């Protein structure tokens, strides 16, 4: 194994100890084996899936969350030839086997191997980005690591994983030029959808309750941005489509009635992509006839797609979609609960929250 001469024995990590309980602790720097990497984490974006786990205590503690990870290779295990100490990299924490029933059908997020987290900072593997160092396991090293080009910041690079998840939703939807797309919710994920649709030349109408987010949406390419309660989305969608309604909807927020709103704003045969409905507690109440008789497609898009990994990295690294502009708040590791609070309860001035583990 080769490693940095300054590699410490212990590190600081934000350890999840239970519902709404994350504690900064001194823990061992992970040991790596053959085929593995150790990454010195420089930036990790805060994802709402982790927020839900922390807020509601959804998983057994202890764990170290954080999976939108960018950093520097600090150690290289025996047999690794693609990466060297000092390389700047991002890592995907899930990679499918490529061989099973689900992989053969490109349903990678349902693969049993995909469901096993492959990056850890200790305890049960949970991503490890909210720590100063993280261990990358062999199957992730083999297919789930991308080098960061010179001139690209760690903050910008940390968007590769979330962009991949949105790109997957866009690809699955089959949206094409001439369609009218709706994106419901203009938080960081919703804005990424808006950027990707603009990049593909798709006319897009967005919604959000926050005026600042609607303004950002217009800046990033939306043709119109509406208040979902005070304005009628269906009227706007039909006005722009000679009365038929929207062709595609991406539901990038979770709120009572939001899916029903999507149905009302769409034409027969439209596709409605659920992206934010990840909790078992969420229920949807729609007319069966609106789906069956009108031949709408209600579909889910979840997690990343290995086939889109290189493309998502290219879009982020090239700046073709300006994701770095979404970062509004940065917190050192010791301030992580302030970051979690800000991300859980955003205001008009907050979008993407990034944790900088080397800053205490």
**Burial of residue 147 (number of CB atoms within 10 Å: 0-12, 13-18, 19+):** middle
Residues paired with 24 in a beta bridge: 14
Output the pLDDT for position 131. 98
Quote the pLDDT of residue 202: 98
- Closest alpha carbon to 244 in 297, 171, 179: 179
Beta partners for residue 16, in sequence order:
22, 63
Per-residue pLDDT of the chain (360 residues; tens, 9 = 90+): 777 678 999 999 999 999 999 999 999 999 999 999 999 999 999 998 899 899 889 899 999 999 999 999 999 999 999 999 999 999 999 999 999 999 999 999 999 999 999 999 999 999 999 999 999 999 999 999 999 999 999 999 999 999 999 999 999 999 999 999 999 999 999 999 999 999 999 999 999 999 999 999 999 999 999 999 999 999 999 999 999 999 999 999 999 999 999 999 999 999 999 999 988 888 999 999 999 999 999 999 999 999 999 999 999 999 999 999 999 999 999 999 999 999 999 999 999 999 999 998
Give the pLDDT score at 3.
Answer: 72
Task: Please state the domain extents for the chain.
Answer: 2-158+322-356, 166-300
Q: Pick from 146, 178, 188: which is nearest to 45 by CA?
A: 188
- Rounded CA-CA distance 236/244 in Å is 11
Fold category of 166-300 in CATH: Rossmann fold (3.40.50)
Nearest to 342 by CA among 328, 332, 356: 328
DSSP 3-state of 52: helix
Instruction: Output the CATH code of domain 2-158+322-356.
Output: 3.90.180.10
Could you say which DSSP state residue 177 is in?
T
Q: Which of 236, 240, 230 is nearest to 202 (CA)?
A: 240
User: Do 147 and 314 form a contact (C-beta atoms < 8 A)?
Assistant: no
Listed residue (46, 45, 38, 30) closest to 72, CA to CA: 38
CA 265/CA 234 separation, integer angstroms: 4
């Amino acid at each position: 194994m080769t490693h940095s001469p300054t590699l410490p024995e212990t590190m600081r990590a934000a350890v999840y100890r239970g519902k709404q309980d994350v504690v900064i602790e001194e823990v061992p720097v992970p040991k790596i084996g053959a085929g593995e990497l150790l990454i010195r984490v420089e930036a990790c974006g805060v994802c709402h899936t982790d927020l839900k786990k922390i807020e509601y205590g959804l998983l057994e503690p202890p764990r170290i969350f954080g999976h939108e990870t960018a950093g520097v290779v600090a150690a290289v295990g025996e047999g690794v030839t693609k990466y060297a100490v000092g390389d700047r990299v991002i890592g995907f924490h899930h990679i499918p086997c490529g061989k099973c029933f689900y992989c053969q059908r490109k349903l990678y997020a349902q693969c049993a191997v995909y469901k096993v987290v492959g990056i850890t900072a200790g305890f049960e593997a949970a991503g490890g980005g909210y720590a100063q160092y993280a261990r990358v396991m062999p199957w992730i090293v083999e297919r789930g690591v991308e080098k960061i080009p010179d001139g690209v910041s760690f903050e910008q690079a940390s968007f590769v994983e979330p962009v991949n998840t949105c790109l997957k939703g866009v690809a699955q939807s089959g949206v094409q030029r001439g369609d009218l797309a709706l994106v419901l919710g203009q938080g960081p994920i919703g804005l990424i959808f808006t950027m990707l649709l603009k990049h593909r030349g798709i006319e897009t109408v967005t919604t959000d309750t926050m005026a600042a987010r609607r303004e950002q949406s217009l800046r990033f390419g939306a043709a119109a941005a509406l208040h979902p309660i005070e304005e009628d989305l269906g009227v706007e969608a039909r006005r722009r489509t000679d009365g038929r309604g929207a062709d595609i909807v991406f539901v990038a927020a979770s709120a009572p009635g939001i899916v029903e709103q999507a149905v009302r704003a769409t034409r027969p045969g439209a596709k409605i992509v659920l992206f934010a409905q990840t909790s078992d507690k969420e229920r949807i109440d729609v007319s069966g006839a609106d789906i069956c008789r009108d031949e709408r497609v209600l579909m889910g898009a979840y997690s990343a797609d290995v086939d889109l990994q290189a493309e998502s990295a290219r879009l982020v690294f090239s700046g073709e979609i300006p994701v770095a502009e979404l970062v509004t708040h940065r917190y050192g590791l010791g301030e992580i609960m302030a970051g979690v609070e800000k991300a859980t309860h955003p205001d008009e001035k907050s979008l993407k929250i990034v944790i900088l583990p080397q800053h205490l």
